[in-house]
Amino acid sequence: MNTSKVSKLSLFPLTAEVDNKGHLCIGGCDVVDLAREFGTPLYLFDEFTLRSKCREFKDRFSKHYANILVIYASKAFLNRALALILKEEGLGLDVVSGGELSIAHSVGFPLDKVYFHGNNKTPEELKLALDWGIGRVVVDNLYELELLNSLTKEKDIRQDILLRITPGVDPHTHQYTTTGTLDSKFGFPLATGQAEEAVKQAMSASNLNLLGFHFHLGSPVSETKPYELAIELVLHFTREVSQKYGPHIDEFSIGGGFAIPSTLDSKEPTVDDYAKALAYKLKSFIPESGLDYPLLIIEPGRAIVGQAGIALYTAGAIKEIPKVRKYVCIDGGMTDNIRPALYGAKYEALVANKALEAEGDIVTIAGKLCESGDILVRNTNLASVQSGDIIAIPVCGAYSIPMSSNYNSLPRPAIVMVEKGKARLVRRRESYQDLMKLDVI
């Protein structure tokens, strides 16, 4: 195998290997066989990688800071099988909708470890969360603060809350996924005094118990500096408002956004790099601030599921335009992974049934949707591709499936979990009947 393929393999799940037929294997399963058995497009998740990432976050962060809670950001991908694994691994959960909350509830996820985020939670969603005894509501704006206070009064309960603070820090990521700058729909800005006003109102809300603060800068954030700066700003604010209004701050959530490599040239901090830098910042400020050490909450999504998931497609039409480009068309595309079209996200690819063959075919992998922008990977280096080959794209576990659509009435892919040589279907492929089942004529 040449070196680029050796390093390509490192982007795949931790169990990735190539067998003597030259087939990519994940979790002890031949992915070419799985593509035949379950059809393509197919998403595979490797249980070993999922569990390892959960443990890595817990281990690394608790090595640098004694009191931590890792809550998985469900928006990166959630289904019932994954929720059960997260529950077994002892993680908490960040949910942003009644839907995500319902999935967690359906598997008996401990709801006291669930944090409800979002800039416009509906009264129905909040009522459901309160009925099910959600751990914390992360209040995003004054409308929500008042609404939540009146709902808790009606139910005669007292709800623990955090306030989402917008620190005004640029995380240097894509504009669409930047959230911590002043001009954002999320949270109470520090700069305008609205964050302070929120503390004042939260402290006088009869049925709300202010436990702490949360910020989330954006995603993915490839540097530790923006977090360090935001920690400093929000801790300064915490000290000020604690003195003025008296809340005791037990919890401090620094959000998610931890970047992971998705191409051969991406260089991202490791989990330990993030943990070390952020815990250091927190620990160096707390003693002089007069605050007690709060519970540090981190909310990784992408970094837990990204590498664990791969997408498999079958190559169909191959169009070569001499001196211009060679298109390899696959049986999925922007419907199952909108990220390249939406954010210009970059991926690598491997011909899964030719993983031992030399690479040198520079191709562009195009989806089957009726849009010229439906390109998954541009100018990538593959083994010589023919129709019928299986194309594997690594680091597809985060934000592909949850952002998928039925554009062009394409059914959504199946999802299979692999572990120790066994594969189990954890979401079946949508059928044409599924596409019509909600229509009323």
Write out the H or E segment, with its range, that includes residue 383. strand 375-383
Among residues 181, 219, 224, 404, the one that binds ligand LLP under rule CB under 6 A? 219
Does the protein bind ligand LLP through residue 171 (CB under 6 A)? Answer: no
In order, the DSSP letters of 156-176 are T--EEEEEEEE------S-GG
Would you say 55 or 325 has its CB closer to ligand LLP? 55
Among 135, 255, 332, 333, binds ligand LLP (CB under 6 A): 255
Residue 368, C-beta contacts closer than 8 angstroms, at least 6 positions apart: 316, 329, 330, 331, 332, 333, 374, 408, 410
Decide: is 152 part of the binding site for ligand LLP (CB under 6 A).
no
- The separation between CA 390 and the C-alpha centre of its own chain, rounded to angstroms, equals 26
Which of 4, 79, 119, 177 lies at the binding interface for ligand LLP (CB under 6 A)?
Answer: 177
- Can residue 258 be called a binding residue for ligand LLP (CB under 6 A)? yes
Q: Which stretch binds ligand LLP (CB under 6 A): 12-20, 101-109, 255-263, 309-317?
A: 255-263
Annotated catalytic residue 370: yes
Q: Shortest approach of ligand LLP to residue 322 CB, angstroms?
A: 35
Q: State how far the Cα of 274 lies from the Cα of 277, in Å rounded to an integer.
A: 5
Q: In the complex, what is the shortest distance from the CB of residue 287 to ligand LLP, in angstroms, rounded to a whole number?
A: 28
Alpha helices in 2-79 (DSSP H): 3-9, 31-38, 47-64
Supply the minimum distance, in Å, between the C-beta of residue 298 and ligand LLP: 9
CA–CA dist 42, 24 (Å, integer): 14
The Cα 123–Cα 398 span in angstroms is 29
301 binds ligand LLP (CB under 6 A): yes
271 vs 369, which CB is nearer to ligand LLP? 271
Pick the closer one to ligand LLP by CB: 4 or 222: 222
Query: Site residues for ligand LLP, window 26-85 (CB under 6 A)?
Result: 73, 75-76
The residue annotated as part of the active site, out of 54, 329, 370, 396, is: 370
Interatomic CA distance for residues 251 and 87, integer angstroms:
21
Query: Which CB sits closer to ligand LLP, 121 or 302?
Result: 302
How far is residue 349's CA from residue 383's CA, in Å, rounded to a whole number?
10
Q: Does the CA dihedral 82-344-256-64 come out positive or negative? A: positive
Binding piece for ligand LLP, criterion CB under 6 A, among 39-47, 224-232, 250-258, 376-384? 250-258
CB neighbours of residue 249 within 10 Å: 20
Out of 282, 303, 352, 376, which residue is the one contacting ligand LLP (CB under 6 A)?
303
Q: How many residues bind ligand LLP (CB under 6 A)?
A: 22
Residue 327 or 407 with smaller CB distance to ligand LLP: 407
Angle, CA of 32, 12 and 114, to the nearest 5° = 110
The conformation of residue 385, written as its DSSP 8-state character, comes to P
Instruction: Choose, by CB under 6 A, the member of 113, 302, 368, 412 that binds ligand LLP.
Output: 302
337 is written with which tokens? 């992974």
What are the φ and ψ backbone dihedral angles of 85, each rounded to 5 degrees?
A: -65, -45
| Region of 215-223, 241-249, 372-380, 404-412 interacting with ligand LLP (CB under 6 A) | 215-223
Strand bridging mode 188-189 / 208-214:
unpaired
Interface positions, 313-352, toward ligand LLP (CB under 6 A): 339, 343
Answer yes or no whether residue 212 interacts with ligand LLP by CB under 6 A: no
Give the residue numbers annotated as catalytic, written as ranges: 370
Binding site for ligand LLP (CB under 6 A): 73, 75-76, 94, 117, 177, 216, 219-220, 255-258, 299-303, 339, 343, 398-399
